[in-house]
Structure 1
């Protein structure tokens, strides 16, 4: 039996669940919610991929890794937000799965609640993982799990729109040159840029590249740099370079606007690559520029493979074998291609770019990316994020100036 010790969860862990799981979009799935192993030779794995059926390559990989480790796999797939709640409840009841694959911002929540083991305890090797990606799974100086892959944000652009507007994409290196390109697109009778500024974590997720690209820090929402980032967005709306619909846009509806063929740019992620190929026009991808040049740090999406705390600590050795198999060089390449993820190691990233040169700008964007809970923010991030998206909404709607909206946000955080 997979018996774990019951544990009391912190109030903070329970309070942040609805906030930190807002950016992942998966179809709803159902499954057996029991984490109890069917027998001594059975290990349980929970994942956030209900879109992958039992006969999928993903499910087959889990079974193959189980076979190599000499055990049977009992897999349960949940929607992302449901998975986090189930993981916390299972830990409280003493029914944690052996392996838990979870959205990276949730790792610190589960870690601080005492749900997860550290890599020192479970002996996972993370030496090949890019440090900026691994940071999303760090809390209190310890590392919990390893990333299975990453996605992030960049700027898709319509080559035909830019050509008609007389814009050379190579000239776009900072905010000033990007804004100039938007002005030219608008003057040519097209539209500038679309993005998501909806009042949820999705809005914060999309604002963060501009926020971090200004040099701002999440511990000071009201800094001059942060104000400059929000002013950039509000100015775009006032000048007609971005539509008013961004206030309610999700990343999906924002993409639909770009797919109309009228926009020069759209801020979106690697998960739209398949749709980009179907858009019917030639597109390119550009890392989001920082205010004075270079690539801005965009937030990382993607999941971590973790090992929850078990009462029977002898199970960790086999669980570690399972995770090592799932995140091996060979399996990462196949899995991350399926998930439209950039791999977390340079070795597999190189392999991905060799196979598909269109992934090069995404690898560059992921290399500059940053975890939302990095800088040891942990469970502080959800509250900061909520105040951030509220400030963005207030400023874009015109109810407050960027400076006043962010000052109010910082006060609320404190």
Structure 2
């Protein structure tokens, strides 16, 4: 490995340590230790699913894909951030896994460091993948993996509260109608909306639908449209439509507030569907509305299946076979159901909705979704995101006006 490549990996490691991107559905415990590529009959796969042990459907799928490729799979699971750091270090040592399943915003960081091969190099077919989902794994016009599935954000609502307040969910089509609904809910003596505005990537993740829904761009944090998005949230707190607890809420604690049955709405993701069914009250979901109507682009969560760069290029053909197996239509349907993901292809999405009509709103949200590193932002995103969540925090706590907070953020991000 060249000295330049080693420097790029070291810089990428610093980026990952500085800003965690595990904003969507994630895990918090490590599931193993790093391993080498072993013999010619053993291929290593690293993934961010320590919640799945060797008896899980996911582990069984990996084994079956290995069998189909004529090799044995050695799997190691890490939590999301630890996986990225371990991958960068392994690449620096010349010992990366053969196949890597990694959180989508990290793909550009690893690609920029020279850690990943492109799909063109390995002839991995991405033609059926939704372009907006594939974009999260692109850098410099090249794709560096294929999404195994996607999750994103929408609005859950409490049917009983909306009925009591005289609000029809279908009437909520833009920011004005949503704010009007919150006013009716408050007048009926109930609580409005809860979300996560914490000063971490989770806060940026939850704010982006409103930011993008205003028509703002991450390359211009101080635009008038960006200011309107922050002002929306600030006004909700000022009028009592959202609680001050959102400033410190994670997506988990925000969900716990909604689960009390006291809130009309909660911004959260597909990973809460199982919990929603256990909530004890009737619920529904609607897409997050854009400022002037339509569905706001929400950020995509979910992982990409990638092939790290190897010294022995003869291993790529088998790695390609494993990736193709993991992402074929039959396996995607089973895997994405297990992970509570929306599939990255229209054909499998149609099968998911046919099996569970409640997923229709989530498929709609995924169609409108956008990768956080899209628009060729790549490794610039973590720094931009950190300034964005700082600005939102400053505005919501009242230490700065939305305009001043975002102007400072833009200067720092530049």
Establish whether TM, by shorter chain, passes 0.5: yes
- Count of matched residue positions in the alignment of Structure 1 and Structure 2: 410
Whether the 8 Å CA contact 2:247–2:396 is kept in 1: the answer is yes
Among 1, 5, 8, the alignment partner of 2:6 is: 8
**TM-superposed deviation, 1:355:** 0.3
CA contact (8 A) 1:129 1:344 kept: yes
Provide the residue aligned with 1:284 in structure 2: 284
> Counterpart in 1 of 2:360?
360
Q: CA deviation at 1:330?
A: 0.2
Query: Structure 1 residue 157 and structure 2 residue 147: aligned?
Result: no
- 2:351 alignment counterpart: 351
The SS at the match of 2:284 is strand
Aligned partners of 1:37, 1:139: CA distance in 2, in Å? Answer: 27
- Distance across 2 between alignment mates of 1:21 and 1:180: 33
Q: Return the alpha-carbon distance in structure 1 between the equivalents of residues 56 and 2 of structure 2.
A: 33
Identify the residue that residue 145 of structure 1 maps to in structure 2.
Answer: 145
Say whether the 8 Å CA contact 2:22–2:103 is kept in structure 1.
no
Deviation at residue 286 of structure 1 after TM alignment: 0.4
**SS of alignment partner, residue 405 of structure 1:** helix
The corresponding residue for 1:254 is 254
Where structure 2 has 5 or more consecutive residues not aligned to the other structure, the ranges are none
Contact 1:108 1:373 in 2 (8 A): yes
Structure 2 counterparts to residues 9-408 of structure 1, below 5 A? 9-10=7-8, 11-18=10-17, 19-24=19-24, 25-34=26-35, 36-408=36-408
Question: What is the alpha-carbon distance in structure 1 between the residues aligned to residue 70 and residue 11 of structure 2?
Answer: 38
Question: Any idea what SS the aligned residue of 2:74 has?
Answer: strand
Give the distance between the partners of 2:280 and 2:335, measured in 1 at CA. 27
* Deviation (angstroms), 1:31: 1.2
Moved more, 13-22 or 344-353: 13-22
Q: TM-score, normalised by structure 2?
A: 0.98
How far apart are 1:22 and its partner, in Å? 3.3
RMSD: 1.1
SS of equivalent to 2:186 = helix
Q: CA deviation at 1:29?
A: 2.4
Distance 2:31 2:126 in 1: 32
Take 2:90 and 2:37, find their aligned partners in 1: how far apart are those partners?
13
In the alignment, the residues of structure 1 paired with residue 79 and residue 245 of structure 2 have an alpha-carbon distance, to the nearest angstrom, of 27
Partner Cα separation in structure 2 for residue 101 and residue 134 of structure 1: 14
Q: Distance in 2 between matches of 1:22 and 1:396?
A: 23
Deviations 1:358-384 (A, max 9, x none): 000000000000000000000000000
- How far did 1:9 drift? 4.1
For 1:233 and 1:38, locate their aligned partners in 2 and report how far apart those are by CA, in whole Å. Answer: 52
Distance apart, 1:148 and its partner CA: 0.1
Q: Which runs of 4+ in 1 moved over 3 A?
A: 4-7
Cα offsets for 1:34-89 (capped at 9, x unmatched)? 2x123111000000000000111110100000000000000000010000000000
Q: Tell me the secondary structure at the aligned position of residue 22 of structure 1.
A: coil
Q: Cα distance, 1:343 vs. partner?
A: 0.2
SS in 1 for 2:6: coil
Unaligned runs of 5+ in 1: none
8 Å Cα contact 1:197-1:247 kept in structure 2: yes
- CA change 1:358–1:5 in 2 (3 A) is farther
CA distance in 2, matches of 1:280, 1:5: 58
Deviation, 1:409, is: 0.2
